[in-house]
Structure 1
Amino acid sequence: MHRLLGLIIGLLLLLSQPLASHAAEVLQVRSATLLQVGDRNRNYTVQLACIDVAVDDQQRAQDWLRAELPRRRRVNLRPKGSADGVLIARVTPLGDELDLGAALIQEGLAQSTCLEG
């Protein structure tokens, strides 16, 4: 029984380790809704999906994102589309449950632009 449990735990660790080591990493917060992200050898721009930040809140939202996303913070991307070479995605820091767009809305720094349902 202990041997089977050890084998299962070892298999789970082996399967989960490559996923964590290849997560996208934040390289830079470029604006209140744009991130520069790196994934292995690729760098690309990601726009936070489903939010709009008012002009008056741009700097505060950008400062908030920088505080939440230090350089090299690993994130999970859930793509929603693309526009002009920019990936539009919901972005969730690994270890957190709330995506950044929803967090900005909760902080009062953004408005939702997507219909849920």
Structure 2
Amino acid sequence: MLAVLLVWPGAALAAEVLQVRGATLLQLGDQNRSYTVQLACVEVAEAQQAEAVAWLRQAVPRHTRVNLRPMGQNQGVLLARVQPLAPVRGSTNQAADLGSGLIAAGLAQADSHASADCANVAA
């Protein structure tokens, strides 16, 4: 599955949130599969980890449908931009991905080691 996602990095793939596992880590499901996805292009400071987890759980509760924009992988974990199909709760920007939402909420900053593909993340 990971190889297919990396072959077409611009393709959006629908999935469902199964669990928020960390400040930038989600467990997603797609039909019979589940996989771990790390939000690309963002870093969350250690002091804000708990707040970021709470924000994600409120923004995308279990079974929320999301689109993935794969951007690579790191040690078997898919790096992707994750965009809810419905507007994020408490957000007026339907097009925002979860990483941009964390940045807008003041809980994260753009990843300083990110690739050029991350240039569009809100600062």
TM-score over 0.5 for the pair: yes
- TM-score, length-normalised on structure 2? 0.74
Aligned to 1:112: 110
Unaligned runs of 5+ in 2: 1-12, 87-93
SS at match of 2:95: coil
**Which residue of structure 2 aligns with residue 55 of structure 1?**
46
Larger radius of gyration: 1
- Cα distance per residue 1:7-41 (max 9 Å; x no partner): xxxxxxxxxxxxxxx83000000000000000011
Q: Which residue of 2 aligns with 1:69?
A: 60
- Aligned equivalent of 1:85: 76
Cα distance in 2 between the residues matched to 1:25 and 1:65 = 14
Aligned-CA RMSD value? 1.4
Q: Where in structure 1 are there 5+ consecutive unaligned residues?
A: 1-21
User: For residue 103 of structure 1, what is the amino acid of its counterpart?
Assistant: G
Count of matched residue pairs: 96
Query: Percent identity among equivalent residues?
Result: 59
Q: Distance in 2 between matches of 1:98 and 1:80?
A: 16
